[in-house]
């Protein structure tokens, strides 16, 4: 196996949105022991994830912005101002 495939796999693992930080660390620990077939399978899956994310980046960012705005509004509704109650 050429080392560049494992380096590419490390990059894909680090960039993954689906994997938690713990899962990424666990996978990164196993990369040196993976055989060619395992590297190919995992790399293919993560490359597809990345392609989908890039192809839908605008829609994903719009959705994230809407959720963040809703969270900010919710936070504003729940604020309590000491001594004055909620602002009118």
pLDDT tens track for 44-75? 999 999 999 889 999 999 999 999 988 888 77
**84 domain-assigned:** no
Q: Is 85 left (phi over 0), alpha (psi -120 to 50) or beta?
A: left
User: Does residue 9 form part of some domain?
Assistant: yes
Q: Give per-residue pLDDT as tens, 9-58.
A: 999 999 998 899 999 999 999 999 999 999 999 999 999 999 998 899 99
Report which DSSP code applies to 17.
S
Tell me how many domains the chain contains: 1
Q: What is the pTM of this model?
A: 0.65
Q: CA angle at residue 54 from 48 to 2, to 5 degrees?
A: 45
Residue 16 belongs to some domain of the structure: yes
Whether residue 14 is contained in a domain is answered as: yes
Q: Whole domain around residue 68: which residue ranges?
A: 3-77
The two tokens of residue 60 are 């994903």
In a domain, 53, yes or no: yes
* 88 inside domain: no
Query: Looking at the domain assignment, is residue 86 inside a domain?
Result: no
Q: Is 81 helix (H, G, I), strand (E, B) or coil?
A: strand
| Inter-CA distances, 33 with 2, 29, 79, Å | 13, 8, 52
């Amino acid at each position: 196996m050429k080392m560049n495939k494992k380096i590419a796999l490390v990059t894909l693992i680090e960039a993954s949105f689906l994997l938690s930080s713990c899962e990424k660390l666990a996978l990164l620990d196993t990369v040196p022991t993976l055989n060619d077939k395992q590297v190919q399978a995992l790399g293919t899956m993560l490359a597809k994830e990345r392609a989908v994310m890039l192809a839908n980046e605008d829609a994903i960012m719009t959705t994230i912005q809407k959720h963040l705005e809703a969270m900010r509004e919710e936070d504003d509704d729940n604020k309590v101002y000491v001594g004055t109650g909620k602002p009118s």
